[in-house]
Each structure stands twice: as structure tokens, then as C-alpha cells.
Amino acid sequence: MPVIIIDDADRAVPLAEALLAGDLDAIEITFRTGAAAESIRRIREALPEMCVGAGTVLRPEQAKRAADAGAQFALAPGLNQRTVLACAELDLPFIPGVMTPSEIDSAAELGCRYLKFFPAETAGGAAGLKAMNAAFKHLGLRYCPTGGIGLKNMGEYLSMSEVFAIGGSWVATREQIAAGEWSTITSQVKAALAKAAEARR
């Protein structure tokens, strides 16, 4: 799943079209810029086939803005109980960030079954995630690792049954989006999906 930092909402729909051209129909628009909510709104209106999530949702008020814009899910780099509960009230599927057994335990207690393992490489990589999840395997938790993942190591994560997706900004960088390098982004999507298919075999 591409982790998108976008500065201009006018770039949102062309970006989503470039991802779809590479057969990728999910996107995470991070709330790191003021263009996030409007970008989500525009993609949802123009391309209903694209599954649009809001990333870096740190506080309940951001969750509300994301939901109002039409986000279909939300993610965060950390675990904030208030945000988890706010998303539950909004009926907005939420994926909190975890990097320790205590955080995994707290997230599970709050009812979260899909978790973001972040920052993945710094927190022990695929081996670290596998070791930590061993104590929670009976709960059926699923993970989306992000942070330091690219073509060279994505297979290590996708070969794990507990990993349902990986995230990264390399598929469509902030600079490429600003420059409108849509064909390059489409090519990067195709390369990432081909590598993912190899890992899942």
C-alpha cells in the first residue's frame, strides 16, 4: 500500500489514476499536510473503485475529518486509546501502530485485530515481528509493516502469514507526485506488485 504525502489536492486524482494503471486499488493519504482531507474527498468522488485510507491519524479530530472526507479506513504510527475509541464511534476501521509486545497487547485489548508494525526495520524487521507475534498468534492478529521497507526486503514480510499488506512511500514519492511523474509511479507499482506476487507463492 503506497504511503502518500501530498501537498496539492489537484495532484490527488491523477496520482490515483497512475496507481490504478499499475493495478493497485488501495492508497493511504497521510494527514501530514493540509491537502490530505481534500485529496481523499476528490479521489473518493472521482474514482469509487479506489479504496482510500487516511494515514497518520493521531487524534480523534483527525479521524472525524478523515471520515467526513470519505476515508474508508485509517491508520496511525502509534497507539492512542482516544483515537481508537473515536474511530469505533465513527465506524471507521482503524489500524493503530505497534512496535512492542505491550503495545500489541493493548491494541488487542481495545479490539484491534489489524495492526501497523512501525517502524518495521528499526523494530527488528520481519524476524522481530514473527518473534513478538508468537505470543499472540492464537488471537489471529494481522499486520501491515511499514518503515524501511522496499523492493529488496518486502518479500521477507509478505512471506509471513500474519502480514496482510506492507506499506511504503517509495512506490510514489512526494517529489514524484509534485513533479507529476505518473508513468514512473505506474512502473514502480507494477514492479512492487510483481515482487509481492513472488513472495506470496
* Residues involved in catalysis: 28, 116
| Alpha helices (runs of H) in the chain, residue ranges in sequence order | 12-21, 36-46, 60-69, 81-90, 101-109, 125-133, 154-158, 174-179, 182-200
Report the candidate in 9, 93, 97, 1 with the shortest Cα–Cα distance to residue 56.
97
Which residues have C-beta within 8 Å of that of residue 14, sequence separation ≥ 6?
180, 182
Distance CA 146, CA 87 (A): 21
Strand pairing class (142-145; 73-75): unpaired
